[in-house]
Amino acid sequence: MKLSLETIIDQYRADPTRLMDILLDIQSAKGRIGRTAIDLIAKKCKISVVDVEQTVSFYHFFSTEPRGRYTVYLNNSVVAKMMGSEKIARAFEKEAGCTFGSVSSDGLIGLFETSCIGMNDQEPSAIINNVVFPNLTVHSVKKIIEGMRKGKKVSELQTVKPGDGNNGSKLLTTAISNNIRKKGPVIFSEYKQGEVVKALTTLTPQVIIYTMKKSGLRGRGGAGFPVGLKWELCRKSAGDKKYIFCNADEGEPGTFKDRVILTERPQLLFEGMAAAGFAVGSDQGILYLRFEYYYLKEYLEAILDDMRKKKLLGKNIAGRSGFNFTIRIQFGAGAYICGEESALIESAEGKRGEPRDRPPFPVNKGYLGRPTVINNVETLCAAAKILLFGEDWYRSLGTPQSTGTKVLSISGDCLYPGIYEIAWGSTIGEILEMAGAEKVQAVLVGGPSGSFVGPAQFNRKLCYEDLATGGSFIIFNESRDLLKDAVLNFTEFFIEESCGSCAPCRFMTVILKNKLEKLLHGKGVAQDLVDLEKWSSIMQANRCGLGQTAANPIRTTLSNFNHLYTVLIRTNDDFVSEFDLKSAVADSCAVAGRKPMLHGA
């Protein structure tokens, strides 16, 4: 039976800080969040209608209009396109009888695009009614739409077998594959559920923090902040309640390692969160999970349940009195910016994912104003293993300033896309060889907010001392048009994902994109390159990492692939305009019913 709006809102005690959950449930029950729902939420939660509307309008997966009984979200990211998603898109349109961005006239099928869904190693892929369909072909699209017309359940539409590892387990049964190509000693090594929290019972918070500091562990979400210091700051921060967040937003195009860790090592992660809670004095953990990974919900909740039953979570964990820690899952609703820690907190509080001004930092004033630790999935798993095997063991891996291992998500032009847990300090060349990549033109290290590097730099090492990375590693071979296929698409991605608070992030991205397009149209002059360089440096003035790095695809290709730009510019002109009076006045003249007069203009 479908739930009524009232019941859904009451389930969350009409708590405005649970607005995301309320909206997600309504979207899934009703297929949209309409006027009645918005008004009712505002009334019951005692917030303004605008408060509800601004959250609804912020996230990709919320809609005020129906999006079809079956809603297809096709990934439009760079790698998806490299793997043929355009063809898949045309097939969907042909079979469904509507174009992307619309719903078929009978209301059955809605076709929409979305940013990277964390399946780069099995593209083209789409999410249909919360189920992921990887490795799509024109043939499978045909079958899927046929199934929809027959009214099949979305789980019955899958045309391929369940994937490897836990993907095939009863609660998951998803066609997604792990593609773990290289297991390392930290994340994917042997592990028995419960051993971390049991080890904790002999430790004190101070010892845990000391161990983290000694191990040299740094955050794996991209920024590389020392874990021991973060935990210590939060421990020392005064607060009646503290929170541990695991950041599983994984929105950086080209990263999908957290998805695989969540599939294969969820218990390790949850124990890592409990350890963090024990260290800082928090009894509440929240896993902020991107909506794209909604298919993991039942599976993860079953594991949490099981761990509670086994006293590995809950009250007096592993028999240690006073060691209390519970975990709940908070879903996002499609917004890259929500991976930024303060935006993540805003989102978890039911608001638009707009980064906060810092200070105060989350360790002092985070979720609901309380001291909060936010760590990446991989970070928390590594922390758990360090507590098992010690800081010396951890330090023996990697390089002096980049201890331990790093899980890479490798995709693009290579034979073996997938997950590689490598020791820090490996060179790009070594990794390319492992992945079976040939005739490589460029590697994008760290996703679009990272850097494009060319063969001249393939001897560079992945580590904080040289090239730091959150793990996204996208390979482009010589046949790719780097500027058109990658740089332009990534710049559009940032335009789409900017929260809009800061002026340069909001409009400089658009100006840079227009310039790039001008160059690609063959209308560029030398000054345009100077402008690109100079103007993109203004992006430093933005508030958060998104805006500060949004020009990186352009900046790093300008410096490492300058020849791709210089061949595009007109050397004989010092100014070229793309303005065309005839087309600029066509519409206004048509609606006024007058003939354009173009002479003398």
Ligand X SMILES: Cc1cc2nc3c(=O)[nH]c(=O)nc-3n(C[C@H](O)[C@H](O)[C@H](O)COP(=O)(O)O)c2cc1C
184 Cβ contact partners less than 8 Å away, ≥ 6 residues apart: 405, 407, 421, 422, 423
C-alpha 174/C-alpha 155 separation (Å) is 9
Scan residues 247-276 and list those touching ligand SF4 (CB under 6 A): none
- Write out the E strands in 413-516: 418-423, 440-445, 451-453, 472-477
- Say which residue the tokens 């991107």 belong to: 290
Q: Identify the DSSP state of 508.
A: I
| Binder among 503, 522, 526, 530 for another protein (CB under 8 A) | 503
Among 249, 292, 413, 528, binds ligand X (CB under 6 A): 249
Residue 547 binds ligand SF4 (CB under 6 A): yes
Tell me which of ligand SF4, another protein, ligand X, none is bound by residue 578, counting a contact when its beta carbon lies within the kind-specific cut-off of 5 to 8 angstroms. Answer: another protein
| 221 scored as a contact of ligand X (CB under 6 A) | yes
Contacts of 396 (CB under 8 A, 6+ apart): none
Phi-psi domain of 398 (left: phi exceeds 0; alpha: psi -120 through 50; beta: other): left
Least Cβ distance, residue 601 to another protein (angstroms): 5
Residue 572 in the binding site for another protein (CB under 8 A) = no
User: Would you count residue 190 as binding another protein (CB under 8 A)?
Assistant: no
Residue 544 in the binding site for ligand SF4 (CB under 6 A): yes
Selected range binding another protein among 74-82, 231-239, 470-478, 587-595, rule: CB under 8 A: 587-595
CB of 420 to ligand X, least distance (A): 18
Q: Among the candidate windows 258-266, 278-286, 369-377, 579-587, which touches another protein by CB under 8 A?
A: 579-587
Binding span for ligand X by CB under 6 A among 32-40, 51-59, 333-341, 390-398: 333-341
Spatial contact of 446 and 222, defined as CB atoms under 8 Å apart = yes
User: Of 156 and 587, which CB lies nearer to another protein in the complex structure?
Assistant: 587
> Is residue 588 near another protein by the rule CB under 8 A?
yes
Q: Which residues pair with 249 in a beta bridge?
A: none
Q: Cβ of residue 227: shortest distance to ligand SF4, in angstroms?
A: 24
Q: Which two tokens stand for residue 497?
A: 């994902």
Q: Does 213 bind ligand X (CB under 6 A)?
A: no
Return the one option of another protein, ligand X, ligand SF4, none that residue 503 interacts with (CB less than 5 to 8 A, by type): another protein
Q: Which stretch binds another protein (CB under 8 A): 5-13, 30-38, 103-111, 586-594?
A: 586-594
Q: Answer yes or no whether residue 536 interacts with ligand SF4 by CB under 6 A.
A: no
Site pattern 177..206 for ligand SF4 (x: CB under 6 A): ------------------------------
Q: Alpha-carbon distance 451 to 217, whole Å?
A: 23
Helix axes 266-280 and 227-236, enclosed angle (nearest 10): 40
**Contact (Cβ atoms closer than 8 angstroms) between residue 375 and residue 363:** no
For the beta sheet containing 326-331, the strands, ordered from the edge strand earlier in sequence to the opposite edge, are 326-331, 284-289, 243-248, 372-376
User: Restricting to residues 536-565, which ones interact with another protein according to CB under 8 A?
Assistant: 541
499 binds, among ligand X, ligand SF4, another protein, none (CB under 5 to 8 A by kind): ligand SF4
Q: Is 101 in the site for another protein (CB under 8 A)?
A: no
How do 126-128 and 131-133 pair as beta strands? antiparallel
Decide: is 586 part of the binding site for another protein (CB under 8 A). yes
The answer to whether residue 368 forms part of the interface with another protein (CB under 8 A) is no
DSSP for 536-579? HGGGGGSSSHHHHHTTHHHHHHHHHSHHHHHTTSBSS-S-----
Residues 6+ apart with CB under 8 A from 302: 171
Site for ligand SF4 in 498-517 (CB under 6 A): 498-502, 505-506
Which of another protein, ligand X, ligand SF4, none has residue 597 at its interface (CB below 5 to 8 Å by kind)? another protein
Residues 6 or more apart in contact with residue 251 via CB below 8 angstroms: 115, 116, 290, 335, 336, 337, 338, 339, 497
Q: What is the strand order of the sheet 109-114 is part of? A: 102-103, 109-114, 70-75, 126-128, 131-133
Report the interface residues with another protein, using CB under 8 A. 502-504, 507, 541, 574-575, 577-579, 581, 583-597, 600-601
The site for ligand SF4 (CB under 6 A) is made up of 337, 355, 498-502, 505-506, 542-544, 546-547
The residues binding ligand X (CB under 6 A) are: 219-223, 225, 247, 249-252, 337, 339-341, 374-376, 379, 544-546
